Amino acid sequence: MSAPSDPRTMGTVVDSRRERLRRLGPWLVLGLTLAVLCVLPFEMRPYHREMTMVFFINLIMVTSYRLITTTGDWSFAHIVLMGAGAYGAALIAKHAGLPFGVVVPMAGIVAALVGAAFIVPLLRTAGFGFFIASFAFGELVRLIWVKVQFPFGGARGIINIPSPEILGLKLGSSIPYYFTCFIVALISLTILYRIDKSRMGNAWKAIHGDEMLAECVGINVAHHRSFAFITGAFFAGIAGGLLAFHMGAIDPRNFDLTQMVYLIIWVVVGGAVTFWGPIIGLIVVTIAFEWTRPLLEWRPLMFGAILILFLIFLPGGLESLLPKIGPTLCRSPVEQLARVRRWLTTFVART
Amino acid sequence: MALLETKGLSKHFGGLKAVSDLDLSVEEGEIRGIIGPNGAGKTTLFNVISGTYKPTSGEVFLNGERISGLRPSRIAAKGGVRTFQRTALFKDFTVLQNVSIARHLLANESLLGAVFGTARRMEKAHEARALEILEFIGLADIKNELSHNLPHGHQRALGVAMALATEPRLLMLDEPVAGMNPQETARMTELIRKLRDEWKITILLVEHDMRTVMGLCEYITVLNFGHKLTEGAPKEIVSNQEVIEAYLGSDNILEDDGFAS
C-alpha cells in the first residue's frame, strides 16, 4: 500500500476525477439542453416556436435517415416514406376517427409497410444503383398521390386533418403541440441511439465496412439491410404523422425532391459517421436558413454551393472537426482560465 | 461419416469450368490441404463450399446436411466458416470489436433487446469468449488497437480469430500464411495445428507455400483446371509424376524445399 502522498496515487486520483468529469460532461450538456428546450417555448415568439417544432420533426427524419446509411445504403426515398406516414395519419384520423396517440404510431407502421415493399426489390441493388432505384420507387408512390383523387386528393392533397387530442386534452395550439413533438422526438432519438450503440448497430456498420466478410462471419446481410431500412421507415412515418397534424393539410409537394435534397444537405454538412453528425448538420443549416431568409431567391444557389464546398473541403462533415476541437472544449474551467492568462501574458509581453 | 462432402460439384463461369465434377470427402479432425497451380479452382471451391457462390451443379454436405445453395451466414450457423485470401477485417473497429461482431450468430439479438439492452449478461459472456480467443491467437495485448493499424501478420491472425468466434466445426483457411515472414509463418502453422489438436476443429486449407502445406497436412488434394488430379499423403504427392507435370517443372520448388524423395 502506498501512502497518499505518493505522487503516483495522487496522479490516479486526479485522473479518476477528470475521468468522472469527462463521463459526466455529456450528460450535463444534454440535461441543460433539455431544460432550455422546456422553458424556451414560453419565451419564444410564435414564429420561432413553430420553427422549433418543425426542427423536432426534422430531427427524427435526419437521425432515422442516418440509421439506414450505417449499412451503406443511401436511400433517396426517405422523404416519401415520411409522406406515407403523413398520408396514413391524415386518412386514419379523418376517416377512422382514431385518437392522435394511436394514429401517430400507426403512421409509423404504414411507412414501415411501404418501406418493406420498397426494400425487397432494392436489396438487389447496392451503392449508386440503390440510390437511383430508391428515387424511382419514391417518385412512383409520390405520383400515385398526385394522380389518384380518392383517397389521396390528387395534387391538392388532403385538407381538414382533425386537430390532435390526447384523452380530451387539446394539443392543437402551439405550446402543447411543441411539447408533443419534443417528447416524441426525445423518445425516437433515444431508441435510435440505443439501436446505433447496440450489437445490431455494430453489425449494420460491419455490413458497410465489408459486406462479404460480414456475411461469412454469420451476419445475414439481406435480413439486416431490410431491417435497418424498415426501422428507418418507421421513424420517418412517425415524423410524417407529426407533420400532418402540425400542418392540418398535406399535399404531394411536401414530400418532393427539394425536401429530399435538404435532408441530404443536413447529412452532408454534419457527416453521417457518428450519431451526432446529422444533428449538428441540421442545427447549422436550419440557423443558416433563417439568417438568409431575405435572400430567398438565391437560396438554391447558396445551398448548391454549400453542398459542393463541403464535399470538396470537408467530406467528413462538421463532425469530422469534433476530434480536433473536442479536447480543447473538454478541458476543465481552471485549465481554460490558465490558458487565457498565459495567452494574455505573452500578448502583453509582446506589446 | 465425413464432416464435409462434395458430390459432383461444379462451378462454371460462362465457358470456364472453374470447378468441375469434384468429389471431395474430409473426415472430422483432419487437416486437409488443397493445392494446385494458379487458376486450378482452389479459391472458387472455397467460395462454393462457404456459400459465396452457388454451385452450377452438384451438392455440398456438412455433417450430413445439405448446405449447397444456402447463404454464407446460414452455413456459418451450421458450423462451416472461411477466411479470405485478401486481408479481410472491419477496419474502423478495434481488434476486440472485430471478434465481438463475429459473435453475431451466437448473440442472436432482437430489436427490443437492442433498445432495452436486456442481453447485458450475455454480452459479458461473449466478450469473455472473444478475449479467450484473442488470448489464444496472441492478440489479447492489442485488443483495443484499431484493426487497420496492425501489421500484416496480426491482421491475418485477426481474420482467423474472427472465424473462430463463430465457433466453427470446419474452418476453411484461404492461404493463411500468404505474405508472412518466416517467424509469422511458423507461428501461424503452430496455431493451426493447435486448433485441430486442442479445439478439435477440422481444417481445410488452400496454400501456395509448399513447406507449410507439406508440414501441416496429413492428406492433400491436388486440383488442376477444376478437376481433382490426385489425392494422398504429402510424400505420395511430391513424387507423383502428374502433379509434377501440372506444376510445369516447378518440381524444382518441391526439391528446393527438401520434400521430394
> Is B162 in Cβ contact with A217 (below 8 Å)?
yes
- Given CB atoms, is A323 within the 8 Å cutoff of chain B? no
CA gyration radius, chain A:
23
pLDDT at B11 over 80: yes
Residue A7, pLDDT score: 46
Q: Which of A123-137, A188-202, A212-226, B230-244 has the lowest mean pLDDT?
A: B230-244
Kindly report the nearest CA distance between residue B76 and chain A, in angstroms: 5
Q: Does residue A116 belong to any structural domain of this protein?
A: yes
Domain of A109? Answer: 33-255
Of A194, A209, A222, the CB nearest to B90: A209
In a domain, A230, yes or no: yes
Answer whether residue A114 is part of any domain.
yes
The answer to whether residue B49 neighbours chain A at the CB level (below 8 Å) is: no
Q: In the predicted model, what is the mean pLDDT of residues B94-113?
A: 89
Highest mean pLDDT among B110-114, B186-190, B252-256: B186-190
Q: Which of A199, A220, A221 sits opposite B114 (nearest CB)?
A: A199
Interface contact flag, A220 B74, Cβ < 8 Å: yes
Tell me, what's the ipTM?
0.89
Q: Which of B71, B72, B114 sits opposite A195 (nearest CB)?
A: B114
**How many angstroms separate the CA atoms of B173 and B250, rounded?**
24
Nearest to B114 among A200, A209, A215 (CB): A200
Q: B65 or A97: whose pLDDT is higher? A: B65
Distances (CA, A) of A338 to A18, A193, A267, B158, B200: 17, 36, 37, 45, 62
Cβ of B115 and A195 within 8 Å?
yes
- Stretch B145-174: mean pLDDT: 94
Calculate Rg over the CA atoms of chain B: 19
Average pLDDT of the residues in B97-116: 87
Best of B105, B108, B115, B126 to mutate (most A CBs within 10 Å, chain A): B115
B84 and A CB contact within 8 Å = yes
Chain A interface test: which of B43, B46, B101, B169 (most A C-beta within 10 Å)? B101
Residue B88 has its nearest CB partner, among A195, A201, A210, at A210
Task: Flag whether A208 is in a domain.
Answer: yes
- Would the CB atoms of B88 and A215 count as touching at under 8 Å? no
Cβ-Cβ contacts under 8 Å, B115 against chain A:
191, 194-195, 198
Cα separations in angstroms, A119 against A14, A106, A125: 52, 20, 10
pLDDT in tens, A180-209: 999 999 999 999 999 999 999 999 999 999
Please state the rounded mean pLDDT for residues A94-118. Answer: 94
Chain A residues close to B165, C-beta within 8 Å: 217
pLDDT of res. A340: 76
B194 lies within 8 A of chain A by CB: no
Of A209, A212, A219, the CB nearest to B104: A219
Would you place residue A5 in the very low, low, confident or very high pLDDT band (cuts 50, 70, 90)?
A: very low
**Closest chain A residue to the Cα of B88, Cα to Cα:** A213
Burial class for B112, CB neighbours closer than 10 Å (0-12, 13-18, 19+): exposed
Taking residues B197-216, report their average pLDDT.
92
- Judged by CB atoms closer than 8 Å, whether chains meet at B89 and A205 is answered as no
- Please tell me the predicted confidence (pLDDT) of residue A171: 74
pLDDT at B60 over 50: yes
Q: Do A198 and B82 touch (CB under 8 A)?
A: no
Please tell me the predicted confidence (pLDDT) of residue A2.
Answer: 41
For all residues of chain A together, what is the average pLDDT?
A: 88
- Contact flag B117-A198 (C-beta cutoff 8 Å): yes
CA dist., res. A189 & res. A197, Å (int): 12
Any domain includes A313: no
Q: Distance of CA A294 to CAs A95, A288, A302, Å?
A: 41, 12, 13
Chain A: closest CA distance from residue B117 (Å): 8
Higher-scoring residue by pLDDT: B170, A295: B170
Strand partners, B61: B5, B66
Domain annotation covers residue A238: yes
CA-based angle B23:B228:B1, to the nearest 5?
Answer: 30
d(CA A152, CA A150): 5
- Please check the confidence at residue B260 and state whether its pLDDT lies above 80: no
- B93 and A191 within 8 Å at the Cβ level: the answer is no
pLDDT at B191 (0 to 100): 94
Residue in B with minimal Cα distance to A227: B111
Q: Taking the CA atoms of A115, A116, A120 and A126 in sequence, report the sign of the dihedral they define.
A: positive
| Residue B171 contacts A, CB cutoff 8 Å | no
Residue A82 has what pLDDT? 98
Name the nearest CA neighbour of B176 among B253, B86, B42: B86
CB of B231 within 8 Å of a chain A CB? The answer is: no
Q: Does residue A342 lie in a domain region? A: no
B107–A206 C-beta distance less than 8 A: no
Closest to A186 measured CA to CA, from A56, A98, A314 = A56
Q: Is the pLDDT of residue A6 over 70?
A: no
- Mutation target to probe the A interface, by most A beta carbons within 10 A, among B52, B104, B109 is B104
Residues from chain B contacting residue A217 (CB–CB below 8 Å) = 76, 81, 101-102, 104, 162-163, 165-166
Averaged pLDDT for residues A145-171: 86
Burial class of residue B193 (count of CB atoms within 10 Å of its CB; 0-12, 13-18, 19+): middle
Nearest CA in chain B to A211: B90
Nearest CA to CA, how far is B74 from chain A (Å)?
Answer: 7
Least confident interval from A99-113, A164-178, B15-29, B69-83: A164-178
Residue in chain A closest to B168 (alpha carbons) equals A217
Report the pLDDT averaged over residues B2-25. Answer: 93
pLDDT for B258 equals 44
Contact B115 A209 (CB under 8 A): no
| pLDDT beyond 50 at A169 | yes
| Total domains, chain A | 1
The answer to whether A215 faces chain B, any CB pair under 8 Å, is yes
CB contact under 8 A, A212 and B88: yes
B76, B111, B119: residue with CB nearest A218:
B76
Nearest to A202 among B71, B97, B115 (CB): B97
CA distance B170 to B82: 8
A206 lies in a domain?
A: yes
How high is the pLDDT of residue A307?
Answer: 87
Pick the most confident of A94-98, A119-123, A303-307, B248-252.
Answer: A119-123
Mean pLDDT of chain B: 89
